[in-house]
Amino acid sequence: MSSVRWRELSKKGGLLHERKAPRNEIYCRLSARHRHPPPSSLVTEACVVRAEYLAHLSPRGRLSLAIVLLASIAATLWAVVHVWQTAPSRHIVLASGLEDGLLHQYAKRYIEILARSGVTIEERITNGAEDNLALLQDPKSGVDIGFTQGGLSQASDAKDVVMVASLYYVPLWIFYRKSEQLNYVNELRNRKVAIGVPGSGARSFSESVFALNGLTPDNVTMEPLSNLPALIALRSREVDAVVFVDGADNPAVWNALRDPTLSLLNFTRAEAYRRRLNFISTLKLPSGVIDLADHIPEKDIDLIGTKVMLASRKDLHPAITLLLVDAAREIHGRQGLFEEAGEFPGTAQVDLPVSTDADQHRRFGRTILYQYLPFWIAAWGERAIIILLPLAAILLPLFHYLPQLVRWHVRSRIYRWYGELALLERDVAARTGDLPRDKWEADLARIEEAVARIRTPAGFASEAYTLREHISLVRRAIVARGHSSPAEPREVTRVS
C-alpha cells in the first residue's frame, strides 16, 4: 500500500496515526546517523536490545535459547578440560635392555636430551627387545616407550604399539674359534651355542635364522648367555659359538672382533635370508673398517641384520613423540659402520605400524610454535589451536546469527496474523448475499485480541502498530459493507 493512500485512509477513518517515536527508537536512529558513536553507548544499546529480546521471548523460546547457551558453555568447558588433560606428561618410562649392552647406553642419552625440555625419563632395565615389546603391549606395565627390533612382531599382531622411528642396524654376529672352520649356519648342528637370554633380541633373531637352517633345540644346545658372559664362555670352551645382535660398539662384539683366536661367520647366502624374512637387511663389513692398521677384518664380510626401533604405546602424547624423534636424530643421525649419514632415524615400516606424528615430524620438521616457543608453551598452544579453533568456528557464527534468529522469531509472531487478516479482508471484499457481519466481527476481535497479547521489544513497535492499524482498516471495511448494498461486493483497499 502506498504511503499516500495510507494517509488518505487514515484521515477518512478519523484515526490519529502520527505517534511519538519511542525513546529507544529515536536513540537508535540518531546513533545510526552519527558517524562515530561512542563505543560505550553502542555496547549499552546492544545489551539493552538483547535484554528486551529475552524479555519478550516465549517460555519455549527462552528454553531453546537456554539450551543453546548451556551447550555452548559445556562445549567451552569441555575444550578447556580436554586441553588440560591432554597436556604432555613430564614423566615417561623407557624399557631399555641389558646393562652391558648398547641399549642401556643409548637410554642414558635419551634421558639427558629430554631432560633439557623438562621431561624426566625413568629407565627400566630388561633382558632386551622382546621383553620391551611385551611390556609395551601390556597396558598395566607402566612402560611408555622402549627399544625393540624387527622380526619380533607383525603389524597385524601389534596391540596399541607403534614405531616412533628406526634407529640403526644391528647385525647378527656369529663368532666361533678359529680352530674350527664354519661356512654355513647349519654347521652349528649338534654344537653348543650361546644365543642370548630369554627376552633378548639376540635370542629371537637367532631362533628365526636357526629355524630356516633346520636347527632346533633337539639338535642344538642353546645356552641362555648374552654379551660378555657369552664371550667368556666361548673363550673358555664352554660353548662352541656365540651369537650377538647389537652394534659393533657393544663391548662384547668389539672385543670379539679384535680377538685373534676368534673368527666371524661370513653369510655368503645373505641375500637368501633377506628374501625369506622381510625384516632382514643385508649388510657388509668392509675390510679394515674396524682397524686399518691391524687389517680387521682381513676381508669383506657379508652379514645379515635388522633394525633397532624406538617404539611407544599408541596413546603417547604427540609432543613427546616429537621430542623423541629430535633426540633420535641427534643420537643416530651420523654415519656409522653400516649406516649412511642422515639415514636414521627413519620412518619406513619395518614391521610395527608407524606413528603418524613421528612420520610427519620427520618429513616436515618442527612447527612454527616449536621453533620460537619453549617446549611446554608450544605444546599447550598446539593442543589449544587443534581443539579451540573448530569450536570457535562453530560458536562465533552461532552467536553472530543468534540476534537475527531472535528478530525473526519476534517478527514471525507478528506477521503470522497477516495471513488470517488477509483472508478476512478478501472475504469482506468479495462476499455477496447475506453478509456474516457477526462472524467477521468475531474473527477480527479474535485477531485483535491475539495481537494485543504479543509482547514486542521497542525495536519492533512499528511492526506491531502497523498490524493494529491494518486491523482498524479491515474493521472500517466491515462497517462500510454493512452500509452498502448486500448484493454487490464493494471495493476495499487490501492490506499490503
Question: In this structure, what is the dihedral angle of CA atoms 221, 226, 229, 235, given to the nearest 10 degrees?
Answer: 60
10 Å CB burial of residue 81 (0-12, 13-18, 19+) is exposed
pLDDT of residue 302: 97
In our burial notation (b when 16+ CB lie closer than 10 A, e otherwise), range 342-372 reads ebbbbbeebbbebbebbbbbbeeeebebbee
CA distance 266 to 174: 9
Q: What percent of the chain has pLDDT over 90?
A: 50
pLDDT tens, 460-469? 777 777 888 8
- Look up residue 14 and give its three cell numbers: 478519523
Out of 23-27, 77-81, 302-306, 467-471, least confident range = 23-27
Question: In this structure, what is the dihedral angle of CA atoms 340, 341, 345, 346, given to the nearest 10 degrees?
Answer: -50
Closest CA to 444 of 416, 466, 460, 468: 468
Q: What is the DSSP string of 436-464?
A: -HHHHHHHHHHHHHHHHT----GGGHHHH
What is this structure's pTM? 0.65
Sequence-distant (≥ 6) Cβ neighbours of residue 290 within 8 angstroms: 248, 257, 258, 296, 297
Quick one: pLDDT band at residue 54, thresholds 50, 70, 90? low
pLDDT of residue 110: 97
Q: What is the DSSP string of 317-362?
A: -HHHHHHHHHHHHHHH-S--SS--TT--SB-S-SSSPBPHHHHHHH
Out of 77-86, 210-219, 403-412, least confident range = 77-86
The helix (run of H) or strand (run of E) holding residue 168 is strand 161-177
pLDDT of residue 58: 60
Out of 82-86, 134-138, 479-483, least confident range = 82-86
Out of 147-156, 224-233, 302-311, least confident range = 147-156
Out of 102-116, 133-147, 385-399, 444-458, least confident range = 385-399
Out of 29-38, 295-304, 375-384, least confident range = 29-38
- Look up residue 487 and give its three cell numbers: 448484493
Q: Is the pLDDT of residue 40 over 90?
A: no
pLDDT of residue 97: 95
Rounded mean pLDDT, 469-481? 85
Please identify which residue in the block is written with the cell numbers 477480527.
444
CA distance 70 to 58: 18
pLDDT tens, 159-178? 789 999 999 999 999 999 99
3-state secondary structure of 173: strand
Question: In this structure, what is the dihedral angle of CA atoms 108, 109, 112, 117, given to the nearest 10 degrees?
Answer: -130
The DSSP bridge partners found for residue 147 are: 310
pLDDT tens, 260-303? 999 999 999 999 999 999 999 999 999 999 999 999 999 999 99
Rounded mean pLDDT, 101-119? 95
Q: Is the pLDDT of residue 27 over 80?
A: no
Angle at 57 between CA 55 and CA 61, to 5 degrees: 140
Sequence-distant (≥ 6) Cβ neighbours of residue 84 within 8 angstroms: none
Residue with more model confidence, 9 or 456: 456
CA distance 37 to 331: 63
Quick one: pLDDT band at residue 59, thresholds 50, 70, 90? low
Rounded mean pLDDT, 390-409? 73
